[in-house]
Structure 1
Amino acid sequence: MGQLLSHPLTEKTIIYNEYENFPNELQKHRLVHRSRPNLSHEKGSHPQFFNCVGSMQGYRLTQEDAHLVANCESVLSVGFYNPFEDIEEKLQISIFGVFDGHGGGECSEFVSSEEDREEGIRKWIKFAFETHEYGARNVTPKSDRKFTRSFHTSEGLISQILKDAFLLQDRELYCHFAKESCGTTAIVALLINGEMLYVANTGDSRCVLSTKGGGVKNFSFDHKPQHIGELVRINDDGGTVSLGRVGGVLALSRAFGDFQFKTSVSYKNNAFGLSGGQKYVAPAQESQVTAEPDVLPHRISYDRDEFLILACDGIWDLYSNKNLTQFIKYHLALGQKLDDIVTKLLDHGINSADSNTGVGFDNMTIIIVVLNRPGESLAEWYNKMKTRLEREKGLIA
């Protein structure tokens, strides 16, 4: 994932989305982005979850990480046929994503594209929601809709839609990077209408949820080649795992790109099975390295859920899920703001670099997403968290 330099590149990019009122042109060029709170993310308004993004190149020759924030005025608005109620709905989806590139930053930049909405994963999420052909078990639609598959729950249906979006994105990447050796992981959190959270993970970037009372919930599981389910798929597609790497090269078993490990997949058509009676064409889900994500749903509880953390493995190499959550909470209890906390996180990461273990030498990117309730300002959330944490520590009654 890049080459080591003889000295650390400690310049950090901190994007603190407080959403105060600054002109759009200023937002594009400021290191710290601020615009006015809407004070609401109810249906019919723009969902707004305060957040802070931090990234640092570190000891790598290039920055191969990328991120995506589609929130507030940039929220993704999609039309969605709900087969469980047989109605057309309008969904507002806030999207937060971290993409850890390898072999170059081309794939991560492409997938995370914010400026050009005709590219990137947000385009395919919108497409998959608006064109799905899935139905609901035991629900007969009034129209003559034809379904390719039916689901028992809306969570299962939406999870499949997100898997479709990831595979469609990978197909598009093939058109641009078929001959390249680059790829990228993806951890993407979607907050739909401010009510449901879906986390889609491909690779070893990670998402955790901090909850009241010191709870830490894992919302992703690393895709490593030596894990038995991944190992079976790799072997079944003719691949091998040595030194914990696919083909002795790639330390991940799922990623966008990396088409040298997807030679059994046909990206020119949707045919599965035999092609021309000669070569077996594997489904994209069964290739040695697949882009298919695991998806975990969660109904948001504003009484308990506090904030999300999305980060690449350069962060998780340094912190366990629990330790990172505790680090953030400790500084929140001291009254510090997210931009200061993220700065401390990155500084601690580069200062922890160990040439013996290799820890601390990777690119680092993190997003902290505040799960503020509708109508709650950022200042109110900070005060709530400080009071709650002091009470949990027994400092106040």
Structure 2
Amino acid sequence: MGNSLPVESKFTFEEENDRIKYVVSSMQGWGEKMEDAHAAILNLDDATSTSFFGVYDGHGGAEVALYCAKQFHIELCNHEDYHNDLINALDNVFLSMDENLQQSDAWRELVIPHDNGCMYFLKAGVCAKPFPQATYTGPAYEGSTACVVVIRGNQMIVGHVGDSRCVLSRQGGLAIDLSFDHKPCTRTESERERVQNAGGRSLGLRCEQVMGNYVVKEQWVLGDFGGGVTISRSIGDFAFKKNKDLDREKQMLVCDPDILADDITDDMEFLVIASQGLWSCVDSADVVSYIHDRLSVEGAELRVICEEVVEFGLASGENTTVILVQFKPGAFQYQLVDPAGFGTAVSNIASTSAAPAGASDTSDEGVMADSCATADTSGSARAESGELVPTPSANNTVTDEVDPTGTVAADDKVDPNSSANADADDGAPKPSLGAVIESDEVALDATATGHQVAVRQQEEFDPKKCWICGKGYKKILLEPSSARARNPLLAHAKTCESEDKKAKKKITKYMMKANVTNQYH
């Protein structure tokens, strides 16, 4: 926070196709400068019906977030598994982005205007050639979160590091977190232990008051170094990743993402992808409830609603960026393009391989620092042997702000196969069970998120509320600690045990009835 008055002007852009409509809006707020960035690309390539959305919340400067917004989706398109194993491709891109930042400072050319290179060379110290040049180590205290959503056909993948968050609204305004903040104080015990074992120590909780609202944060530092972080995973921040005695995955900060994949079903209404500026002020349930209620009003505009949600973040004292993705009713029921592109972890359909895609050339619209960009829907492709693949452009160089996007007509390259989930016993659709991939130390079912298992168990055992405190099942699902459990109701009841001496007998009785012993953590 560094301004006497907040910057309340907003950048807002909207776009739609036959499947989805999205609006992105961002505001600097009380922040001294804009460090958020985002990428919103409706058609990522011509060969597959793929959309990409990413929110990047920078800290220590805007450059890493800007680089992610310009390059992340390009790295994804260029990955060899982009067509035949999208989950693996997305997982690897998080690591490759970190490696790109650490190898050399060439990445800065994408985010810093240079005036024919003169300012860049002056900044790099070319005039001071006689002095020995220090070994490049990457941005020490500059970093960024990343929360990205890739939609292909009727399936979506969510990958994230840090505390930018993606939340799904199911029918009726039920909020379901598709990502969980990577923070030592709120993540799993193993996450906190990793940070501590790498030399991190907590400075304790600090409370900030902004516009009459109190925001509580826990800040961590590495040893006695100055500067601290409030997250446990990020892209960049190499001062917290350089312990030579530890492997990469055991450093204080890591860039290993949590990745979740799931089918898009008719009961899904919209996604909210936002930076911490929003989530530090309001919780997921309140945001989803507000948007759901506003959408139910006749004539409500998605653009206006998104800007209203951005204003909630003003009280945080931080930048706020929100991408609101609305699923069009019935649009995903019969659209499935190359389901094998999600890998065997998501689909039982046999995998088919395709040639890796190169980045196609467009302008840098749609990929931006949240202060000055728009979305891009143009691209180039060519037909070879009956297949359309993105092709490299003539000016595909580091200094060119390439963006491999393309426009796919509503009736082009669509495989009319249904992927709606239905049980054989009754034929009625039920909540789909997505796959949690690379989720660090979170004891979830191999094919379902905590929320989805909870819904399934609610249907089987029909527990409407906690038998100890009386809290409703829907509210229990919104508790972070309960939501990550395999049986949220049982996990919540355990927390009530100390308040009721008879709780243990009741819990044991329920466990025997439901046959879910040790299904919570």
Aligned to 1:190: 150
Does 1:56 find its partner at 2:27? yes
Q: What SS does structure 2 have at the residue aligned with 1:17?
A: strand
After superposition, the Cα gap between the structure-2 partners of 1:232 and 1:129, relative to the gap in structure 1 and judged at 3 Å, is: farther
2:54–2:149 contact (8 Å) kept in structure 1: yes
After superposition, the Cα gap between the structure-2 partners of 1:123 and 1:254, relative to the gap in structure 1 and judged at 3 Å, is: same
Deviations 1:98-137 (A, max 9, x none): 1100001000000011xxxxxx1112222334389xxxxx
2:282–2:312 contact (8 Å) kept in structure 1: no
Tell me which of 5, 11, 27 is aligned to 1:7: 5
CA distance in 2, matches of 1:332, 1:213: 11
Does 1:334 find its partner at 2:334? no
1:225–1:241 contact (8 Å) kept in structure 2: no
Matches within 5 A, 1:66-81: 66-72=37-43, 75-76=44-45
Aligned to 1:170: 98
Shift of 1:318: 1.9
Shift of 1:180: 4.0
Q: What SS does structure 1 have at the residue aligned with 2:6?
A: strand
Aligned to 2:336: none
CA distance in 1, matches of 2:181, 2:230: 11
Aligned to 2:67: 110
Q: What SS does structure 2 have at the residue aligned with 1:50?
A: strand
CA distance in 2, matches of 1:214, 1:257: 36
CA distance in 1, matches of 2:256, 2:45: 22
Aligned to 1:305: 268
Shift of 1:371: 1.4
Q: What SS does structure 2 have at the residue aligned with 1:13?
A: strand
Partner amino acid for 2:67?
Answer: F
After superposition, the Cα gap between the structure-2 partners of 1:242 and 1:129, relative to the gap in structure 1 and judged at 3 Å, is: farther
Partner amino acid for 1:337?
Answer: E
TM-score using structure 2 length: 0.51
After superposition, the Cα gap between the structure-2 partners of 1:91 and 1:327, relative to the gap in structure 1 and judged at 3 Å, is: same
Tell me which of 171, 187, 202 is aligned to 1:241: 202
Tell me which of 203, 215, 218 is aligned to 2:162: 203
Shift of 1:211: 1.0
CA distance in 2, matches of 1:91, 1:286: 36
Does 1:232 find its partner at 2:193? yes
- Long gaps (5+) in structure 2: 106-136, 205-217, 223-227, 334-521
Deviations 1:227-273 (A, max 9, x none): 32211222333333332333161001001000100113xxxxxxxxx
Matches within 5 A, 1:373-392: 373-374=330-331
Partner amino acid for 1:232?
Answer: E
Shift of 1:348: 4.2
2:37–2:65 contact (8 Å) kept in structure 1: yes
Matches within 5 A, 1:202-221: 202-221=161-180
Deviations 1:77-109 (A, max 9, x none): 5xxxxxxxxxxxx64421101110000100000
Tell me which of 269, 294, 297 is aligned to 2:258: 294
Q: What SS does structure 2 have at the residue aligned with 1:4?
A: coil
Does 1:262 find its partner at 2:241? yes
Matches within 5 A, 1:127-138: 127-130=78-81
Aligned to 1:250: 229
CA distance in 2, matches of 1:299, 1:76: 20
CA distance in 2, matches of 1:61, 1:367: 22
1:76–1:95 contact (8 Å) kept in structure 2: no
Aligned to 2:326: 370
Tell me which of 74, 80, 95 is aligned to 1:123: 74
CA distance in 2, matches of 1:186, 1:179: 16
Shift of 1:375: 8.8
The structure having more radius of gyration, on CA atoms, is 2
CA distance in 2, matches of 1:297, 1:291: 19
2:40–2:54 contact (8 Å) kept in structure 1: yes
TM-score using structure 1 length: 0.66
Aligned to 1:282: 247
Deviations 1:322-353 (A, max 9, x none): 11011111111123111111222233443xx3
CA distance in 2, matches of 1:14, 1:131: 30
Shift of 1:215: 2.0
Bigger strand fraction: 1
CA distance in 2, matches of 1:56, 1:131: 33
Partner amino acid for 1:52?
Answer: V
RMSD of Structure 2 on Structure 1 (CA) = 2.3
After superposition, the Cα gap between the structure-2 partners of 1:361 and 1:289, relative to the gap in structure 1 and judged at 3 Å, is: same
